[in-house]
Copies of this chain bind each other. A is one copy, B any other.
Amino acid sequence: MIQVLMVEDHPLVKEGIMAILADEEGINCAGHFYNGTDLLYRLKSFQPDVILMDIDLPDMNGLELCKQVKALYPAVCVVALSINNQAGIIKKMMENGASGYVLKDAAQHEITEAIRTVVKGKQYFSRSASLYLRKADTGKLPPLTRREKQVLEKIADGLTNPQIAEQLFVDVSTVNSHRKNMLAKFGVQNTAALIKLAIKENLI
């Protein structure tokens, strides 16, 4: 019997998965939590085979939660669950130790398939998740540095180079350099396109 814990803050989705797992032979949903804190507490006394983990949680980031869980209990397999189809997120989640990624538009059987696959030590991606991963490989985005991200956020907030320079205690020319670097990195023509891309790719 495969023991499963679930972290999912959407009651409707929770019920759906519960219903699917209840019908399934050999899989037992041993508990459900609405946030990461509760899960971490429960893990102290009980380690399941698999954790189904929503990455959009009220109290903490799924990426962070996954990393913590794997650091404390490396044997536990994490299957990420998300409406988020950003390829970047999927990749980061896998880097943080997740064994599978199932989008919420997945078919019923993909949930149980994912669980059965990851306990065997393999990785699993739902159909739609792998679609996005493939797209990501072709059009992978160059990473932003810490400073660039800071500048980018301030640009998105509507600050001008002089204003950003003041806030970051650097020269205007520095801010301008970062801005131009980012334009070049992403191959966009101006700030408008940069902001759009950044938001669509979940960078800000």
Residue ranges of A at the interface with B (Cβ–Cβ < 8 Å): 9-20, 83, 104-108, 111, 155-160, 188-196, 199-200, 204
Copies in the complex: 2
Bound CA span A155–B195, Å: 11
CB neighbours (8 Å) of A106 from chain B are 11-12
Minimum Cβ distance to chain B for residue A198 (Å): 9
Contacts A191-B192, A195-B199 given; 17 further ones with Cβ under 8 A? A9-B105, A10-B105, A11-B107, A12-B17, A12-B20, A12-B104, A12-B108, A13-B16, A15-B16, A15-B19, A16-B19, A18-B19, A158-B196, A160-B190, A192-B195, A196-B204, A199-B199
Find A199's partner among B10, B14, B196 (CB 8 Å cutoff).
B196
CB neighbours (8 Å) of A193 from chain B are 156-158
Q: List 8 A-B contacts (CB under 8 A).
A: A11-B16, A12-B16, A12-B17, A13-B13, A13-B16, A157-B196, A158-B188, A192-B192
Bound CA span A127–B192, Å: 35
Given the known inter-chain contacts A83-B83, A199-B200, please indicate yes or no for A156 contacting B192, CB distance below 8 A: yes
Can you name the residue of chain B whose Cβ is closest to the Cβ of A197? B158
Given the known inter-chain contacts A15-B19, A19-B18, please indicate yes or no for A10 contacting B104, CB distance below 8 A: yes
Bound CA span A157–B191, Å: 10
- The 5 closest A-B CB pairs, nearest first, are A158-B193, A16-B16, A15-B16, A19-B19, A12-B16
CB neighbours (8 Å) of A155 from chain B are 192
Minimum Cβ distance to chain B for residue A195 (Å): 4
Would you call B191 and A12 a contact (CB within 8 A)?
no
Minimum Cβ distance to chain B for residue A153 (Å): 10
Given the known inter-chain contacts A17-B16, A196-B156, A199-B199, please indicate yes or no for A11 contacting B108, CB distance below 8 A: yes
